[in-house]
Chain A
């Protein structure tokens, strides 16, 4: 990753028929970076991707991809990007190889270069063995991989991925996430949209959280976590009444707060490693059995909740 800018979005705005899908979007993505747009459905992620892919003209503002403007030089933009659409945009009645050959030609590849890239991409998306089967006969995961492979044919410097793991099994998702990392390791800049916080957390160098067409938080994972103070939640279920344990725990220096609701006790702590032995020791000494325990590290869900007042998956 370098400090050079790959994507520079400036006051991007899109509205149709009185509805504002994206408003005053500003962010930059550095070359070689994986940048994720995280947000619930309808947050404006796909509209943003459509504008960056030159499928939609912005109502106002502009974006520069490797210095090319989506408004003024869309053709130049299209030559440096590979777009993985949310839908599986492949031809079901053609084989993987036929699909790749066709799309390679659409990207301007020909001859030996085309044949080489088709073989490389088939290998990359692990479809070499099934390359002659019709895409319509593939599993969802294989179709998703082909969908991604098509966007990589012309070796774009920027790959834009719009929720590429929607509706697939965990194994296929793992392959795709590993593939994105491998791609990035080769120096490709990736703009990735998702509503799965785990993906954004695992893949991204930086994350922008979107809601209602706006970015409400942006930074690295740890920067975002700091927004909610970095507190860890320990949830305990006890067989007996806690008695004066709650007051005792509140008095501990590393405990931020303790609350009890419907028999479950929640401790917000800065460091779970040091506090958990104390909790177990004190319950044992008081003769109280712990029947359930859950430790929740601070996550993007909590950040989203903190910023919007609602859960990411709502």
Chain B
């Protein structure tokens, strides 16, 4: 019971501090909103690699190829301003275009006659963008020529010979259907975790979860002050002259920090749900579990900072300094998926990366309890380590 009284006293003091509203609510809401706007603006931009498409052929396959290229997740076809080779090569060299596909004159006629014509592809295969574009162009080209082959075989199966007047009409019609089949396959394997948040804006999800994790630790500035002032005013030492145990005293302070952070995270998830449109509360149990793990990590972090700091300036410096490191490396400002493997690996040494992952797993990937538990376990590990270090420092502080 005394743990609760101690936590209640801390909460009362935290709420009396003017800085609390700023660090715990105003700044997180403002930054989530701003980051949401920035990320959503980027979402309107087509992120696919630009690929030039030069059609020198006047047959039917040029438009079909454009359709298939446009269907790619990786590349988007553009028509270059000029079609001369030097200009096109310069565009690729200067990386304004990831590649250029040239459909040579007579390409459609040759394909429909049953010969296998070649597309001309100008690409720098030494670059990752060039390699990705090349693969997507090869895929579209294979699908196009496959569709031509299917159309020709269908015509033969229907009893038409190439000399028939109806053959060409049949082949063109079958070609249309084959192309449509590629665009809208009846059976499709989607390699994407089922999640309801497919409809949620990805930018909003990153901004909301990232800022939530970022400000969960920034919010420890005020609780950090409270414990620091207890050390300085010797009220902490005085508490140790009552029959409360050291564990009870630490638990009381951690509980207050935990409650502050949990309330903050819950408010931010409500803001995320209703203002940003991120569906945190489709799985309330899991969201609460992740919020609790995040709050426990933040409380332990706050305890560690207030045990380390010698004055109020050091609390601010240590909280903001370490939170920036956690934030920049741990993917609270940008998704670690956009970074290379080494950066992502280093990033995942930060507890913040796991917290963001956990929240996004629930929202974006619809993960269940079993999938979330390892993330929760890792956050608990970090929390326990921080708590342990803080207890050692506090013991030393009480002896002085």
Q: Which residues of A contact B (CB under 8 A)?
A: 16, 53-56, 75, 78-79, 81, 83, 85, 87-94, 98, 102-103, 105-108, 150
Interface residue B181 (Cβ < 8 Å from any Cβ of A): no
A89 touches B233 (CB 8 A): yes
| Residues in chain A near residue B5, CB distance under 8 A | 102, 105-106
In the complex, which of the residues A78, A85, A90, A98 contacts B237, with contact meaning CB atoms closer than 8 Å? Answer: A85
Interface residue B48 (Cβ < 8 Å from any Cβ of A): no
| Residues in chain B near residue A92, CB distance under 8 A | 233
Measured CB to CB, the nearest residue on chain B to A104 is: B5
A90 touches B241 (CB 8 A): no
Q: Given A88-B233, A89-B234, A89-B235, verify A55-B240 contact (CB < 8 Å).
A: yes
B6 touches A106 (CB 8 A): yes
| Residues in chain B near residue A79, CB distance under 8 A | 243
Quick one: CB contact mask for B189-208 with A, threshold 8 Å, 1 for yes? Answer: 00000000000000000000
Interface residue B19 (Cβ < 8 Å from any Cβ of A): no
24 intermolecular pairs with C-beta atoms under 8 Å apart? A55-B237, A55-B240, A55-B399, A78-B241, A78-B243, A83-B238, A83-B241, A85-B237, A89-B233, A89-B235, A89-B237, A89-B238, A91-B9, A92-B233, A93-B13, A94-B9, A94-B12, A102-B5, A103-B242, A106-B2, A106-B5, A106-B6, A108-B242, A108-B243
Measured CB to CB, the nearest residue on chain A to B17 is: A93
How many whole Å from A162's CB to the nearest CB in chain B?
A: 10
Complex Cα spacing A143 to B239, Å: 17
Q: What 18 additional pairs, Cβ within 8 angstroms, besides A55-B237, A89-B234, A89-B238? A: A55-B240, A55-B241, A75-B245, A79-B243, A81-B241, A85-B237, A85-B241, A87-B233, A87-B234, A89-B235, A89-B237, A90-B233, A90-B235, A91-B9, A93-B13, A94-B12, A98-B12, A106-B6
B399 touches A56 (CB 8 A): yes
Q: Which residues of B contact A (CB under 8 A)?
A: 2, 5-6, 9, 12-13, 16, 233-235, 237-245, 398-399
How many whole Å from B243's CB to the nearest CB in chain A?
A: 4
B398 touches A108 (CB 8 A): no
| Residues in chain A near residue B398, CB distance under 8 A | 55
Q: Name A's interface SS.
A: loop
Measured CB to CB, the nearest residue on chain B to A74 is: B243
How many whole Å from B230's CB to the nearest CB in chain A?
A: 8
| Residues in chain B near residue A103, CB distance under 8 A | 242
B243 touches A85 (CB 8 A): no
A107 touches B238 (CB 8 A): no
A102 touches B399 (CB 8 A): no
Complex Cα spacing A75 to B244, Å: 8
| Residues in chain B near residue A81, CB distance under 8 A | 241
In the complex, which of the residues B12, B233, B242, B399 contacts A106, with contact meaning CB atoms closer than 8 Å? Answer: B242
| Residues in chain B near residue A75, CB distance under 8 A | 243, 245
Complex Cα spacing A11 to B238, Å: 25
B2 touches A91 (CB 8 A): no
Complex Cα spacing A91 to B399, Å: 21
Complex Cα spacing A79 to B242, Å: 7
How many whole Å from A250's CB to the nearest CB in chain B?
A: 56
B399 touches A54 (CB 8 A): no
| Residues in chain B near residue A106, CB distance under 8 A | 2, 5-6, 239, 242, 244
How many whole Å from B255's CB to the nearest CB in chain A?
A: 15
Complex Cα spacing A91 to B226, Å: 10
Q: Given A93-B13, A105-B2, verify A53-B241 contact (CB < 8 Å).
A: yes
Measured CB to CB, the nearest residue on chain B to A107 is: B242
How many whole Å from A210's CB to the nearest CB in chain B?
A: 21
Complex Cα spacing A92 to B240, Å: 19
A78 touches B242 (CB 8 A): yes
Complex Cα spacing A16 to B239, Å: 23
Complex Cα spacing A233 to B176, Å: 125
Complex Cα spacing A78 to B239, Å: 10
Measured CB to CB, the nearest residue on chain B to A153 is: B242
Complex Cα spacing A54 to B2, Å: 19
Complex Cα spacing A56 to B245, Å: 14
B239 touches A91 (CB 8 A): no
Complex Cα spacing A79 to B399, Å: 21
How many whole Å from B246's CB to the nearest CB in chain A?
A: 11
How many whole Å from A161's CB to the nearest CB in chain B?
A: 12
| Residues in chain A near residue B237, CB distance under 8 A | 55, 85, 89
| Residues in chain A near residue B242, CB distance under 8 A | 78, 103, 106-108
Complex Cα spacing A81 to B398, Å: 19
How many whole Å from A300's CB to the nearest CB in chain B?
A: 28
Complex Cα spacing A105 to B6, Å: 9
| Residues in chain A near residue B238, CB distance under 8 A | 83, 85, 89, 150
| Residues in chain A near residue B240, CB distance under 8 A | 54-55
Complex Cα spacing A85 to B241, Å: 10
Measured CB to CB, the nearest residue on chain A to B230 is: A91
Complex Cα spacing A92 to B237, Å: 16
Complex Cα spacing A107 to B234, Å: 17
Measured CB to CB, the nearest residue on chain A to B240 is: A55
| Residues in chain A near residue B13, CB distance under 8 A | 91, 93-94
| Residues in chain A near residue B244, CB distance under 8 A | 106
How many whole Å from A113's CB to the nearest CB in chain B?
A: 14
In the complex, which of the residues A78, A87, A89, A108 contacts B2, with contact meaning CB atoms closer than 8 Å? Answer: A108
Measured CB to CB, the nearest residue on chain B to A91 is: B235
